[in-house]
Amino acid sequence: MLEVHKNYVLDENQQPIAVQIPIAEFEKIEEIIEDYGLAKLMEEVEEEPLSKDEAIKYYQSLKDKNVAS
């Protein structure tokens, strides 16, 4: 299991308002989420299953579309 080292950011009333994590841990979490999303997309294919390269290309097109919007 991934260990996440968190630093809490507090406001003037000592209430937590944000969390900081090391960039390497953030990137690992992001990779896990993207891999999960890619696996879910591959499961949803009703026709001929996509090859790994096709699935990655399709997933990248979805990411690009979301960034543009």
DSSP 27-57: HHHHHHHHHHHHHHHHHH--SSPPPHHHHHH
Q: Domains in the chain: how many in total?
A: 1
Q: Indicate whether 33 belongs to any domain.
A: yes
Average pLDDT (40-58) is: 78
Q: What is the mean pLDDT of residues 47-53?
A: 78
Total-model pTM: 0.57
CB 9 within 8 A of CB 17: yes
Cα 67 to Cα 53, 59, 62, distances in angstroms: 21, 12, 9
Range with lowest mean pLDDT among 32-36, 41-45, 50-54: 41-45
Would 10 be classed as within a structural domain?
no
Q: Is residue 9 part of a domain?
A: no
